[in-house]
A and B are shown apart, each in its own frame.
Chain A
């Protein structure tokens, strides 16, 4: 028996302005354990696709199913977002709390975890990414690489079933990039990775998909 897919997008259409459609009938399925590389030229709509999956943007036509249920309204997606952790391209967008600990705690606290539990999660998550002792660091004083790792920690702290990674190794130095790749390769979650970084995709992805003229093509 084939298990229910985590995500299923069928015939999704989307345009920021009606003259220039971004997605024109995109179909995509993500199963548990899938690790998909999402490639495509600049402006092809890769980020748009991820944002549609968690309801930050709404498809103008087509169907978005997540975790076995169709998702249409904001309320449907509120349940999807903690389960599908989205890592943003620019970590400055993601880290808005003064300190690292507060930023990592933001998600779990929103999910209704107690303070004691949250403190445990924060410590555990930071330790997992080799960020022990970063709790009281001030987010805007971190280096670009540290910021990316902390942003990943804020996503992982919610214990998502799927990771949606938007150019995770973009603008990282070689050392941090290698560290991030080995972290990502060791994570159990299903993933969609947007990247132009061949090295990353070779290590992490099992399946390659290309976004071309508004549709997804398996390659």
Chain B
């Protein structure tokens, strides 16, 4: 939940006013909006799942490179911003490198090099590269297909795909309130700064930061209670009603679906070739 929220929050601030603007100036926005942005949200979700499943099944380097290239094409079609995309991928890769560092030393096989008496195998290095490629391809595709979508549109697409409603609502509540909580955090943080707080490495800092997060937690719980109270005031009895209508499926959606299935088949075909 946390990761999806923190990932979606920055894109939210960029793309959120799009539908409102589109309503007001329908003609102008058509031309500038990327082609991919008008593909049905449900389809994008399904294709993302299909792509991830296919890529996870690949084991050879050439099809994996192809998958990464496909994801790159999708990212370009979605006109993702280069800097922020690379930053996010770097965040993932930083974590992955740390995890994958030990892999060559734990997989048996012909030694490639040795470090401090431990031998790193070719098979292990290959496996590490394979995992790295998989993770990057899937992440890039998720950013291209889902990250370019308004988080709320994504929530609605999930609901219309009949994903578990609890999950959908959890997602939508997170999208709605992450900013409110962020605001609360910044307010508290500013108040601390205003009284001369500078983080150091001492018990005073640890205690103060502890208070900060404790207070944030207490406030979140209280807010949750007030929100529930407000919902009960409006007759909430445990059932949500989403007022969404799916846009009609058009040629763009069919084209995209066809393209995606072809790409997935091509990846599988490449995998079956012995390189």
Contacts of B152 in A (CB 8 A): 98-99, 138
What distance in Å separates the Cβ of B21 from its nearest Cβ neighbour in chain A?
Answer: 10
Known: A105-B241, A106-B241, A115-B243. A96 touches B173 (CB 8 A): yes
Contact A90 B175, beta carbon cutoff 8 Å: no
Contact A56 B241, beta carbon cutoff 8 Å: no
**Given the complex of chains A and B, what is the CA–CA distance between A99 and B233 in angstroms?**
19
| 8 Å CB contact of B233 from A56, A115, A133, A138 | A56
Contact A110 B19, beta carbon cutoff 8 Å: no
Known: A98-B176, A110-B237, A140-B176. A93 touches B20 (CB 8 A): no
Contact B226 A82, beta carbon cutoff 8 Å: no
Contact B235 A105, beta carbon cutoff 8 Å: no
Contacts of A111 in B (CB 8 A): 235
Contacts of B17 in A (CB 8 A): 138, 141
A154 within 8 A of B: yes
Contact B223 A93, beta carbon cutoff 8 Å: yes
B222 (CB) vs chain A CBs: closest residue: A93
A14 within 8 A of B: no
**Given the complex of chains A and B, what is the CA–CA distance between A94 and B233 in angstroms?**
10
Centre residue among A81, A118, A155 by max chain B CB count within 10 A: A81
A45 within 8 A of B: no
Contacts of B173 in A (CB 8 A): 96
Contacts of A158 in B (CB 8 A): 234-235
Contact A94 B230, beta carbon cutoff 8 Å: yes
Q: How many residues of B contact A (CB 8 A)?
A: 33
Give residues of chain A (106-148) contacting chain B, Cβ–Cβ below 8 Å. Answer: 106-107, 109-111, 115, 118-119, 133, 136-141
**Given the complex of chains A and B, what is the CA–CA distance between A136 and B235 in angstroms?**
23
Contact B179 A93, beta carbon cutoff 8 Å: no
B31 within 8 A of A: no
Contact B234 A154, beta carbon cutoff 8 Å: yes
**Given the complex of chains A and B, what is the CA–CA distance between A83 and B25 in angstroms?**
39
Contact A54 B233, beta carbon cutoff 8 Å: yes
- Contact string against B for A residues 47-70, beta-carbon threshold 8 Å, 1 for contact and 0 otherwise: 000010010100000000000000
B23 within 8 A of A: yes
Contacts of A115 in B (CB 8 A): 243
B101 within 8 A of A: no
A7 within 8 A of B: no
Contacts of B16 in A (CB 8 A): 138, 141
A85 within 8 A of B: yes
| 8 Å CB contact of B235 from A97, A107, A119, A141 | A107
Contacts of B88 in A (CB 8 A): none
A115 (CB) vs chain B CBs: closest residue: B243
What distance in Å separates the Cβ of B271 from its nearest Cβ neighbour in chain A?
Answer: 40
- Taking Cβ atoms with an 8 Å cutoff, the residues of B that contact A are 16-17, 19-20, 23-24, 152, 155-156, 172-173, 175-177, 179-180, 223, 226-227, 229-237, 239, 241-244
A78-B237, A102-B242 are known contacts; what are 12 more A-B pairs with Cβ within 8 Å?
A56-B229, A56-B233, A81-B235, A86-B233, A93-B223, A96-B177, A98-B152, A102-B244, A110-B237, A133-B23, A136-B23, A138-B20
- Taking Cβ atoms with an 8 Å cutoff, the residues of A that contact B are 51, 54, 56, 78, 81-82, 85-86, 88, 90, 92-94, 96-99, 101-102, 105-107, 109-111, 115, 118-119, 133, 136-141, 154-155, 158
Closest 3 CB pairs of A and B: A110-B235, A107-B234, A109-B241
A-B contact pairs, 6 of them (CB 8 A): A88-B230, A96-B177, A99-B152, A133-B23, A138-B20, A138-B152
